[in-house]
Amino acid sequence: MQHELPRQAVSPGHPRRVLVADADEDARALCRQLLHENGYDVIEAPDGRDALERALVRQPAIVVSELRLPHIDGFALCEILRRDHITASGPIVVVTEETRRSGIDRIRAAGADVVLVKRTSAEVLLRERLSDAEAQWVARMRV
């Protein structure tokens, strides 16, 4: 399944650079694939320290970061990027499992422009198990 991102953000022949910071290699690979399919040039960082260094040197148009990063966490990364004159105005997207309003407000206060909440494995498991249970109940009721 291919997701479409806004094409107006991509200059023909000059792909926009996106820095993806996530300790999970699979999550970075998924993000990289989605972004490449939509014309973005992806820079990857497995931890906050590498993300900061790559942001300052490569100057991505957008930073996408998980909160739980080794060495420098996502909160500190946002705060540092906002204080540096090179990266201060670039959009920052934070991907998190945090769902509480206070947590999301804290992420925004650190400097995130967008907060994307990902579903936890427990939520997916619960939803799938409930769906299975509902399907079994409906099947029993038809007998």
pLDDT surpasses 60 at 134: no
Within 10 angstroms of residue 126's Cβ, the number of other Cβ atoms is 11
**Domain 7-142 is found in CATH 3.40.50.2300:** yes
The residues spanned by each domain of the chain are 7-142
Helix, strand or coil, per DSSP, at residue 90: coil
Residue-wise pLDDT tens digits, 1-37: 444 444 334 333 335 899 999 999 999 999 999 999 9
Tell me how far CA of residue 11 lies from CA of 7, 15, 38, 56, in angstroms.
8, 6, 11, 22
* pTM of the predicted protein model: 0.74
Amino acid in the structure at residue 32: R
Token digits of residue 141: 């009721």
Average pLDDT of the residues in 64-86:
95
Phi, psi of 82 (to 5 degrees): -70, -25
Dihedral of the CA atoms 28, 123, 104, 107 (nearest 10)? -30
CA 88 to CA 77: how far, in whole Å?
A: 11
